[in-house]
Amino acid sequence: MSYKVLLFDLDDTLLDFSANEIDSLNKLFQLHGYTFSDELFQVYNSVNKQLWADYENGNIVLDDVLNSRFSETMLRLGKVVDGVEWENQYRELLGNGCQHMEGALEVCQSLSVSHRLFVITNGITQTQIKRLKQSGLYEFFEDIFDSQSIGFQKPSKEFFGYVMSHIKDFNIKEALIIGDSLNTDIKGGLLSGIDTCWINKKLQKCSAEIQSTYTVTSLVELYNICTLVK
């Protein structure tokens, strides 16, 4: 029995979020009269990562992440800004970014002929859908599951339980999670009993605690895995 349902992470798996993030932040800070430097990015990145970690650990809600990350960043620099306004502007800029990861269009187009494709993302509903449509990938996916709509984020059992219960004729033995993050995608697969494929493009060190069913370094390697007879 081969895999029939492919659950794709979006950011840094199919779309290059890192490139989009830098471009959008640069435009945002320029809009407000600031030069976007490496130092400024490090401050923002530190604040943003901590807020997302607090959210994933259940300590704060999603709105706290989005509406305070820019105000907290600028506060560290001695500036008071409207965090909600900055977030709305950033969200608009981010939604216009649709840079592909290498091979994403070809792989999705090809596998969608023989497989059922779905997106699983911790991103924001409106932003992720907009990016998918602008990237040309949207048409290849049967549905999009995002943490904002579901109310839980990867890697929680609740997130994947929702996904499994909302895919018609879902068979856990025929499903494969594909993503770049050990802590969200691969761990989520382990918690929910779904096979996983780790896209380890950056050649990160493997984890003894979080073991993926498969590990590849590029999307094109999925062709062999997705047709395996198990």
Give me the active site residues, please: 9
Q: Find all residues with CB under 8 Å of 142, minimum gap 6, and list them.
A: 116, 117, 118, 167
Taking the C-alpha atoms of residue 132 and residue 138, their distance in angstroms, rounded to an integer, is 5
Cβ-based neighbour number of residue 65 at 10 Å: 19
CA 114 to chain centre: 24
- Phi, psi for 6 (deg, rounded to 5): -115, 120
Take residue 223 and report the two structure tokens written for it: 């062709």
Q: For residue 40, which of 94, 101, 93, 81 has the smallest C-alpha distance?
A: 81
